Amino acid sequence: MLRSDPIKVKEILKHYKYEQSSLIHILQDIQVEYRYLPKETMLFVARELKIPLSRIYSVANFYNAFSLKPKGKHLISVCLGTACHVRGGKRIAEEVERTLNVKSGETTPDLEFTLETVNCLGACALGPVVVVDGHYYGQMTSLKMKKLLSSSKGGRGNGKNEKDNKS
């Protein structure tokens, strides 16, 4: 399980001069760092900024960009919009669910992958479309998806919390 680093969080708070009005930016930076908002970090931020924890959680719950649950190193978005759906998007989503043993919105226990299904990725002509760590893959098939998952596993992903791999 990923643990937040109080020194890193303090750096973020310092960057924003511990200003309560910068709470959203502070949470954004923490989210980028850890791919979610860890509970102990929210407690720490509340203490340091001298604001109620409930205020932090109301901000975190209001914006979709924030996650209170750990996210995987690799984010897989499978499109189930109409154009992708008619070309087999559902089969691709099922392939990912079966292979990783997760449902949409869930993360694998080893924190490698998070699966989400979305309604359109803006590349309908390439359907079915899957985005892995920001890279678009068109005309996906179950076989291509399987290969993509095995080649992604263990790779760097888009997350920032790979302290040993930071460049």
Q: Which of 79, 111, 131, 145 binds ligand FES (CB under 6 A)?
A: 79
Which stretch in 13-21, 45-53, 101-109, 122-130 sits in contact with ligand FES by CB under 6 A? Answer: 122-130
Residue 124 in the binding site for ligand FES (CB under 6 A) = yes
Q: Which residues contact 22 (CB under 8 A, 6 or more apart)?
A: 16
Residue 127 in the binding site for ligand FES (CB under 6 A) = yes
161, with CB counted inside 10 A (0-12, 13-18, 19+), is buried
**Bind-site residues for [2Fe-2S] cluster:** 79, 84, 120, 124
Residue 123 in the binding site for ligand FES (CB under 6 A) = yes
Residue 130 in the binding site for ligand FES (CB under 6 A) = no
Which one, of 165, 81, 86, lies nearest residue 131 by Cα? 81
Q: Which of 38, 72, 81, 159 binds ligand FES (CB under 6 A)?
A: 81
Bridge partners, residue 117, by sequence: 78
Query: Residue 83 and residue 98: Cα distance in Å, rounded?
Result: 23
Contact 143, 95 (CB under 8 A): no
For residue 38, the 8-state DSSP code is: -
Residue 129 in the binding site for ligand FES (CB under 6 A) = yes
The H or E element containing residue 33 is: helix 23-34
Q: Which of 42, 45, 84, 92 binds ligand FES (CB under 6 A)?
A: 84
Q: Which is nearer to ligand FES, 8 or 90 (CB)?
A: 90
Q: Least distance from C-beta 120 to ligand FES, angstroms? A: 4
Q: Which is nearer to ligand FES, 5 or 94 (CB)?
A: 94
The H or E element containing residue 23 is: helix 23-34
Contact 103, 66 (CB under 8 A): no
Positions touching ligand FES (CB under 6 A) are: 79, 81-84, 120-124, 127, 129
